[in-house]
Structure 1
Amino acid sequence: MTTGESSGLEVRVLGPLEAVVHGRPVDLGGPQPQGVLAELAAVPGRTVSVGALVDELWGPLPPRDAHRTVRTYVSRLRAALRHVTGGDAATVLVTRPPGYELRVDPGFVDAWRFQRLVTSGQQALGAQPRLAFERLTAALGLWRGDAFAEFGHLPGIAAKSEQLERLRLSATEARIESALALGLDAQAAAELEVLVRAHPTRELLWGQLMIALYRLGRQADALGVFRVARALLREEHGVEPSPALSAVHSRILRHDPSLSGAGRSSLQGTAVIGSTAVVGSTVLQ
């Protein structure tokens, strides 16, 4: 049995920070102690030095007693955990020179569970679209808001949040592909019409929307989507649609039979998946 299992502690960072023990919330105190826990939860099972915590919490001008203050925050967090668990919280928030470690199985931190589910779902995508859809749906269901929502002012945490948000979008694209492979075209189209407005530089989303509409018998709308995407890319980014997106357009024009059947990768036969077309800072992949 791991420490996470024995303590019952689960840390949730895919939204506002939460710590729960067997479903009971832990009062984590103010923003600074919460920041310490967030830093440790970002790398469960690894030691974060007191110096690194000081740098993250206060930047280049920490107070003179910053190291002692960090130790006080850890003591408060342990007390809060002890109040809920009744056990020895020092076995979860462990002192390991030169700092501290959150000693839980990564599976008890939602961000790590999310990443495992995404990896598993993406691996299943080609041969097992139903399994991919289920795992990617489960992964995305862990989100309750922005990752590490209240810690955007902490540079290290903000970088981790950006990584998770990028993976969230990639997981969304993969889940939509699995939905199209399962013939869930109407569901995918409804979701994609929102997503292309939120992420207009993600050409894969535009391509998926075009295919979903075409498979719903809406060829004119699918071609209209391409015109909208092309105009946006030209006017706002000064680039033409990638060869991958243009290939989807061409396949729709010639009524390519491979676009129609469920039970296969929705973009099979094009270069959309795995291409390296770049729009601004976005890689189509």
Structure 2
Amino acid sequence: MDGGSPQPLRIAVLGPVRAWWHGTPLDLGPVRRQAVLAALVLRPGLLVSHEQLLDDVWGTQPPGSGRRVLPSYIYQLRKALDTAGAGRSASVIRSGRDGYRFVNDGTRLDVAELAGRIGEAQRARASGDLATALDRFSQARTLSRGEPLAGLPGPFAQGERQRLVQRQRTFQQERLECLVRLGRSAEALDDLAALSASEPYDESLAALWMRALYGSGRQAAALGAYQDLRGRLRDELGVDPGTELRRVHQAVLRRDDEQLLGAAAVRAAAVPGGE
């Protein structure tokens, strides 16, 4: 976790866009103004031109007032986010040649925290420290408050929303993989069921679902899950399961605990019987 004093300004985009100053919620105004803020916050330090901001938020239907709308939005955002009397030179939103940039010095951004937790988790997993990896992935999960950039209009918000949703799905799958490899497959089943329902043709997710079912003592259900997906792939897409899914299927048939669950899970399962 971060040390030292907490940053006074906090901005969150992993859900509805919100901001706080020393824990007090700030009024960011209507959704298009929030969309302008998001287009700057998610490009920290980069100068974003007026034209780019208009495209980001209004797309092919620019406002009747043209670029004149942006200074009023920036003024209101500075008024909400900056300390009293900060002035433009000390604002979190700086003016540049024909554009604006967000300066995140001293600002706590949930997307930056998310990236940090995911990075820590992936490094721990690569080193074999699955317990720490699971802890960091779980911390990352708590940062999400629903659909990213919820309710924001414009092409930029739409594209970032899709990117962040996919990132959430990826690290959630990595967290569930840690649970399976730690011998805690039963804890992964509900979340895996929800993910599988939203991604019915994702073979790597289906393989993990089969492994979790097997690790929970449900070999027949794991084999049934394979047959169900195999049928959907053939009937709806005209393809057969890929190499990974076939390999997991064969391992379930052989009851190959080490391949399906990993050495740590096998050791965890062996402890009660060895006592």
- For normalisation by structure 1, the TM-score amounts to 0.83
Give RMSD over aligned pairs. Answer: 2.2
**Aligned partner of 1:88 among 79, 86, 91:** 86
Matched residue, 1:98: 98
8 A Cα contact 1:45 1:105, kept in partner: no
Supply the distance in 2 between the matched residues of 1:229 and 1:81 (Cα, whole angstroms): 50
8 A Cα contact 2:10 2:21, kept in partner: yes
Please give the secondary structure, in 2, of the residue aligned with 1:125: helix
Please give the secondary structure, in 2, of the residue aligned with 1:10: strand
Per-residue CA distance 1:60-93 (angstroms, 9 max, x = gap):
45346322210011111112234xx435163211
Matched residue, 2:173: 173
Larger fraction in helix: 2
Residues 179/234 of structure 1: CA separation in 2 closer, same or farther (3 Å cut): same
Per-residue CA distance 1:150-175 (angstroms, 9 max, x = gap):
12x31122112111111111101100
Supply the distance in 2 between the matched residues of 1:43 and 1:242 (Cα, whole angstroms): 38
- Equivalent pairs counted in the alignment come to 258
Matched residue, 2:270: none
1:70-85, aligned counterparts within 5 Å?
70-82=70-82, 85=83
1:125 offset after TM fit, Å? 1.6
1:119 offset after TM fit, Å? 2.5
1:5-16, aligned counterparts within 5 Å?
8-16=8-16
- For normalisation by structure 2, the TM-score amounts to 0.86
Q: Which deviates more from structure 2 when the two are superposed, residues 101-110 or residues 164-173? A: 101-110
Supply the distance in 1 between the matched residues of 2:246 and 2:98 (Cα, whole angstroms): 55
Per-residue CA distance 1:133-160 (angstroms, 9 max, x = gap):
1111111211111111112x31122112
Per-residue CA distance 1:242-271 (angstroms, 9 max, x = gap):
110010000111121413555269xxxxxx
Supply the distance in 2 between the matched residues of 1:203 and 1:105 (Cα, whole angstroms): 42
2:211 matches 1:211: yes
Supply the distance in 1 between the matched residues of 2:61 and 2:211 (Cα, whole angstroms): 54
8 A Cα contact 1:185 1:215, kept in partner: yes
What percent of counterpart residues are identical?
Answer: 34
Please give the secondary structure, in 1, of the residue aligned with 2:94: strand
Please give the secondary structure, in 2, of the residue aligned with 1:20: strand
Unpaired runs of 5+ in structure 1?
266-285
Unpaired runs of 5+ in structure 2?
267-275
8 A Cα contact 1:106 1:112, kept in partner: no
Residues 80/212 of structure 1: CA separation in 2 closer, same or farther (3 Å cut): same
Please tell me the residue identity of whatever aligns with 1:52.
Answer: Q
